Amino acid sequence: MSATRTLTTARPRTGRSARMPVASEKSHRLRGKILLYVAMSLFGVIFLFPLVFMFVSSLKPDSQILQDIDSVNAFLPVGDISLDNYFGVFDRVPVAQFMFNSVLVTVLTVGLGLIVNSMAGFALSRLEWKGRLVVLALVIATLIVPFETIAVPMVYWVAQLPTLVVEGGVPKYDFGWLNTYEVQIVPFIANAFSIFLFTQYFSTIPKSLDEAARIDGASWFTIYRRILVPLSGPAFATVAILTFLPAWNQYLWPLMVVQKEELRPVMVGMQYFFQLNTAWGEVMAYTSLITLPVLIVFLIFQRAFVSSIAASGVKG
């Protein structure tokens, strides 16, 4: 008698059997949910605190930052709050020029990349031509080459490329791409991974569409332009996002090939802040300034961002 009683009471504790009372299961689930929220919030704090610290510190003078660092105040906009650091940043570096350079380089790299790589993807997935498979294999093989391994030889190489310069209204040839916009853009337009993503996406679209258009007398370019491009929004969004981040974040390359201040992008502009006594308040203001545009773009398009990254992984 007592044995059966212990058995029935002990049971719900070990495994969740069908006989478990409804109320207990509900509380069990609730407990699980609360635990989950606690865990996620804990991680949330870990992921957010450095950025909160950055934005808050950008509003404080250096003395206030140091004073607040021992308490929760480090994360709160309290005390001597002002935009002084931001004004200081504008005095110290040509922020507007850096921003313009970064926007120009990013927009052109992403925009031209979308056109060039999608056309290549079209040629590789929809057209039959001699050597197609060889080229496809080559493109996939180049995926493995990390940019860092070719960066140094590339400096050597671009320093010898011909370029058109206009001197006193007279155009003439010169050599060397160092200190130009094109050196920041042109090498990054064609991208093996983008071509690969476009090729994959285009091959999921039925080929009967091409055949119908061919019968109507459309050229291959028209088919690409009028049929494939409009049907491939997600592929274009994925490639745009995946190339936008590295273009905006370029650092190593412009550091090596662009010495002229007026041509440098925002990330390299960072260097102007580290003197003997680093003014950390101003540094935080500058990093906040160059992070905000990306964060805003991300928060607006976060759904597209997340699905782009996911798509790039699933295909791999």
Window 63-102: residues binding another protein (CB under 8 A): 66, 69-70, 74
Q: Tokens in use for 98?
A: 């850096």
Is residue 144 at the binding interface for another protein, with CB under 8 A as the rule? yes
Read off the amino acid at residue 89: V
User: What DSSP state is assigned to residue 145?
Assistant: -
Question: Which DSSP string do the residues of 45-83 spell out, in sequence order?
Answer: HHHHHHHHHHHHHTTS-HHHHHHHTTSGGGGS--SS--S
In the complex with another protein, the residue whose CB is nearer, 78 or 294, is 294
For residue 262, give the DSSP letter. G
Instruction: Kindly identify the residues of this chain, within the stretch 293-312, that bind another protein according to CB under 8 A.
Output: 294-295, 298-299, 302, 305-306, 309-311
- Residue 53 binds to another protein (criterion: CB under 8 A): yes
Name which of 196, 207, 210, 274 is nearest 238 in CA terms.
Answer: 196
Nearer to another protein, 263 or 290 (CB): 290
User: Which listed residue (132, 165, 174, 212) binds another protein by CB under 8 A?
Assistant: 132
- How many other CB atoms sit within 10 Å of the CB of residue 133? 10
**Would you count residue 30 as binding another protein (CB under 8 A)?**
no
Nearest-approach distance from CB 299 to another protein, in angstroms:
7
Per DSSP, what are the bridge partners of residue 170?
167
Least distance in angstroms from the C-beta of 6 to another protein: 21
Closest CA to 61 of 27, 85, 92: 85
Among 1, 5, 50, 169, indicate the residue that binds another protein (CB under 8 A). Answer: 50
* Binding residue (CB under 8 A) for another protein from 31, 37, 207, 211: 37
Options 95, 108, 120, 258; binder of another protein; rule CB under 8 A: 120
Does 33 bind another protein (CB under 8 A)? Our answer is: yes
Window 205-224: contact mask with another protein (x via CB under 8 A): --------------xxx--x
CA distance 225 to 244: 23
CB of 70 to another protein, least distance (A): 5
Residues belonging to the chain: 316
Residue 230 interacts with another protein (CB under 8 A): yes or no: no
Question: How far is Cα 25 from Cα 31, in angstroms, rounded to an integer?
Answer: 10
The Cα 126–Cα 296 span in angstroms is 37
**Does 163 contact another protein by CB under 8 A?**
no
The whole-angstrom separation of Cα 316 and Cα 303 is 20
Of 131 and 230, CB closest to another protein: 131
Cβ distance to another protein smaller for residue 48 or 76: 48
Give yes or no for residue 40 binding another protein (CB under 8 A): yes
- Please identify, among the stretches 1-9, 80-88, 124-132, 165-173, the one whose residues bind another protein according to the rule CB under 8 A: 124-132
Q: Site for another protein (CB under 8 A): which residue of 151, 165, 212, 300? A: 151
Contact between residue 224 and residue 235 where contact means Cβ atoms under 8 Å apart = no
Q: What is the CA radius of gyration of the chain?
A: 28
The rounded distance, in Å, linking the Cα atoms of 139 and 121 is 10
Number of Cβ within a 10 Å radius of residue 5:
9
Binding flag, residue 56, another protein (CB under 8 A) = no
Does residue 234 interact with another protein by CB under 8 A?
no
Check binding of 239 to another protein (CB under 8 A).
no
- Exactly one of 137, 252, 259, 262 binds another protein (CB under 8 A); that residue is 252
Indicate the residue among 96 and 299 with the shorter CB distance to another protein.
299
Tokens standing for residue 22: 């409804």
